[in-house]
Homo-oligomer: A and B are copies of this chain.
């Protein structure tokens, strides 16, 4: 899409129509400036079909904040709204309303508290709390979900790939299969969640990272079509990149042609004083081929050469490859650990599309309105009990046990502080019979998770660097119980309500349903 044309769809009109029709209604009814509180949370960890995540990694916040900084109702946005018609042919939006948007349609009244990027996060925990005039807090919904759902989804998948790769380097290779422009956000989220580098040049530049990549099959094909062969192609590559020589060896036949040709070129390089980097395998049985290739490289004296694996990888495939190498490598005279420690994983489609689960089910819900100087909790009762939201003005805490491991996340009312409690009662969000009690003195720490990110429309403090975000991620993962980190059948991490929040929720449900009975 043409960049200047597309601008209209990238800014404040990246919004669902109903946000704007509701906004006009609030304005017409004089409700638009009532302080409102909305919360962002997801309901379940991604389920990839046959396996599911035990935790998520928060991502997308910085880009949401930058989008907000960039977006307000401009004349061209108002023109788009002015253009819309009702069934009757009359303009859908009144000039009054459009004037209000022109003069006030920005985020200056909005405050946002959030769980920082890179943190381990769990279902039903308020990850972002937005406070502001009802009209703008409502309009924010779509863009907020659009930014946070996708990046958190991809960061979470990347964290799983990282779990399976046993500390080896992970390269994000998904740009060609990525969702068009989301490639940038997706690569960023992958770098937050678990990838070390990406092949995406533009996003690498934007984030100050070196992009990774060497050559494709087409280079070898080109030399073949010109009457030369794979060996000539490899030699040309070694000539241009003598100290960065990583060769793709499966254009013709990996073991019969690719690896022998690579070894020949590596020997020539070494004779000239350069150390080759390694090879890449992109098709066939990657476990078997990597064992056989390692044996050939070892024999030729290149036992340090990296072996990059790519082609349809994800956390399960990597796990399977590593397992198979452990079981079979020694039969070919290859030490399994040495081989595993020279592997690098190029992960494309499976990571950037979060294969098996293409969306995080994050939602943004009204939880309170301010009336007569006090917050009035708002509820939505659902046909599905799990979808009934947790109402009111809340704070979110993470409780750590004696070992320093995260034991539970606790949603409290705003005036509750678990550090002041002797006994902390944890209620299951929906099951009345499920409850636990912690003795405060046996907890090593109670940590509040939400930090202020935007105050009155202005960003608070600096954004953390990618390295800081990654350190936060690693620290949080270290503090998870290993059972929660499992790729298959992870332990369910506890997310609980305080007793007072539980009581409030029950009374509001009763009131809403009672009201319904009176109405009908």
Contact = CB atoms under 8 A, between A and B. Distances in A.
A240 B180 contact: no
Interface residues of A, number: 147
A257 to B, nearest CB: 4
Nearest to A223: B31
Interface in A209-228: 210-222, 224-227
Interface string A238-260: 01110110000011111011001
Contacts of A516: 230, 252-253, 256-257
A378 B224 contact: yes
B17 A213 contact: yes
Interface in A26-44: 26, 28-29, 31, 34, 36, 38
Scoring A181, A184, A211 by chain B CB atoms within 10 A of each residue's CB, the highest score goes to A181
Interface in A4-43: 5-11, 13-22, 24-26, 28-29, 31, 34, 36, 38
A366 interface: yes
A39 B134 CA distance: 52
Contacts of A145: 175-177
A100 interface: no
A205 interface: yes
B2 A201 contact: no
B142 A176 contact: yes
A338 interface: no
Contacts of A1: 63, 66-67, 184-185, 206
**Most B C-beta atoms less than 10 A away, residue of A199, A359, A384:** A359
A85 B205 CA distance: 13
A31 B445 CA distance: 64
A9 B371 contact: no
Contacts of A138: 218
A157 to B, nearest CB: 11
A226 B261 CA distance: 76
A69 interface: yes
A181 B10 contact: yes
Interface string A367-381: 011010000111111
A444 interface: no
Given A13-B202, A21-B241, A149-B177, A222 B66 contact: no
Interface stretch (A118-126, A317-325, A347-355, A398-406): A347-355
Contacts of A26: 219, 222
Given A29-B240, A34-B226, A180-B186, 4 more contacts: A9-B184, A181-B182, A222-B369, A260-B519
